[in-house]
Amino acid sequence: MTDSPAEHPPIPPDTDKDPILGQTTGKILVFHHTHGFIRTVDFGSIFVHISNIEERGTQLEAGQHVRARIREGARGRYADQVQLIRENPAAARTTRPDATRPTDPAPTTPLQQYEVVLAVAMRLGEQETEPLTHIRRLIKHLGPATVWDLVAEAEQIEAQGGMLIPNGTRRRTFGGVFFALARTRLTPEDCAQIFPPKYWHVLRAQRSAAKPTPTLPAPPPIVTCTWALRGPLIDEAKIGQGRATSVKVTLIGRPESVVERGNTVVLVLTYLGPLPAMPKGVPVPSVVPKTIYTVYVGAKQWRGVAEAIQNPEDSLIIEGAQAWDDEHRAIAVYTTKIVTKLQQRAKRPAPPTEPTPPK
């Protein structure tokens, strides 16, 4: 393993043009030289640059609590106006321009190691299993400090025009630049361990040498995911989260009160469970949290069920679109169809009757 290269700080985000997503608090996951990551309450793991720290000279360290404003930049979300939350003012330390730079504390638990891998992968834009495995092996072999040095150096190369692949036909991706730099820090033996050849390469070499095909190892046991262990899975899924194009919800129940104003009717329904039987592999909480639904119904729609719902044995069946109402901390349901159970049952065709046999 060779010495780390000279530090190349990443390009700070442009905070003048990027839209603001909101305010949040969180904890410093890792901070190295000029940049790092915050694990926030509302936005997951977020990149932070030293230029976005409010108090100049404040040195952020892993484990410290901060508050920040989150923006959406060209390369993803990042923290702006970062302020250290000091429970004890003496605990915050500042550095002079000539002060010794801090070293990152080595991750000790599997969850801490996973968070460092996730933070590096998010910065590189890598989402697949194979590059995440390479990052984990590099952190274990070189240490997190050297890995963050490589990230900074890769960012500097990207800012200067990037790096071409060996045949010169195209530029490497940001992650490709990082891995190319990482290979220069490794011996051939270490490189073979961290970047093992793909299986089909190995198989081709074995066949050409007239060696028998190796027996594939047994697949690893399936780990059961519980509700309490869903957090790391959610963080990993957020790296490549998609976009829903349509949302539909169905509510069944009776309102305690009905509010009618003009051409709008408002109902409030609360759901406390129980949940229906779920397929194997779907984690569920042991106690279903209270969920409040605010239902908006058109007056014309309501007139079709207003009389029927007076029957205490009847219930509403409401279909519509849903969205989160942050102001009232409830799920807003915009009704597209409303009917009662008894009305729906009355519309069903009667079963055919058997013909009376002739006497």
Give counts: helices (H), strands (E), the chain.
9, 11
pLDDT computed for residue 263 by the predictor: 93
Query: Pick the residue with more confidence: 11 or 53?
Result: 53
pLDDT computed for residue 209 by the predictor: 66
Total residue length of the chain: 359
Contact of 314 with 342, CB cutoff 8 Å: yes
Which amino acid, 51? S
pLDDT above 70 (res 109): no
Domains by residue range for the chain, with CATH: 20-91 (2.40.50.140), 110-194 (1.10.10.1440), 249-275+287-346 (2.40.50.140)
Query: Pick the residue with more confidence: 128 or 295?
Result: 295
Determine what percent of the chain is predicted with pLDDT higher than 70: 81
Instruction: Name, of 67-81, 184-198, 325-339, the range with top average pLDDT.
Output: 325-339
Give the separation between CA 168 and CA 58, rounded to whole angstroms.
Answer: 43
Which amino acid, 292? I
Listed residue (101, 117, 121) closest to 109, CA to CA? 117
Across the chain, what does the average pLDDT equal?
81
Q: Which of 29-33, 35-39, 67-71 has the lowest mean pLDDT?
A: 29-33
- pLDDT bin (cut points 50, 70, 90) of residue 291 is very high
Alpha helices per DSSP H over 125-198: 129-142, 144-159, 174-183, 188-194
Segment 290-307 shows an average pLDDT of 94
174: alpha, beta or left, given left = phi > 0 and alpha = psi -120 to 50?
A: alpha
Give the separation between CA 226 and CA 74, rounded to whole angstroms.
Answer: 35
pLDDT computed for residue 74 by the predictor: 79
Listed residue (272, 351, 338, 261) closest to 306, CA to CA? 338
Structure tokens at 306: 């207003």
Which amino acid, 163? M
- pLDDT bin (cut points 50, 70, 90) of residue 204 is low
pLDDT above 70 (res 3): no
- pLDDT bin (cut points 50, 70, 90) of residue 48 is confident
Listed residue (33, 14, 10) closest to 156, CA to CA? 10
Give the separation between CA 84 and CA 87, rounded to whole angstroms.
Answer: 9
Segment 159-181 shows an average pLDDT of 88
Give the separation between CA 70 and CA 48, rounded to whole angstroms.
Answer: 10
DSSP string spanning 248-284?
-EEEEE--S--EEETTEEEEEEEE--PPPPPPTT---
Q: Which of 141-150, 175-184, 207-216 has the lowest mean pLDDT?
A: 207-216
Q: Tell me how far the alpha carbon of residue 271 is from its chain's centroid.
A: 26
Give the separation between CA 236 and CA 128, rounded to whole angstroms.
Answer: 10
Q: Counting Cβ atoms within 10 Å, is residue 197 exposed (0-12), middle (13-18) or buried (19+)?
A: exposed
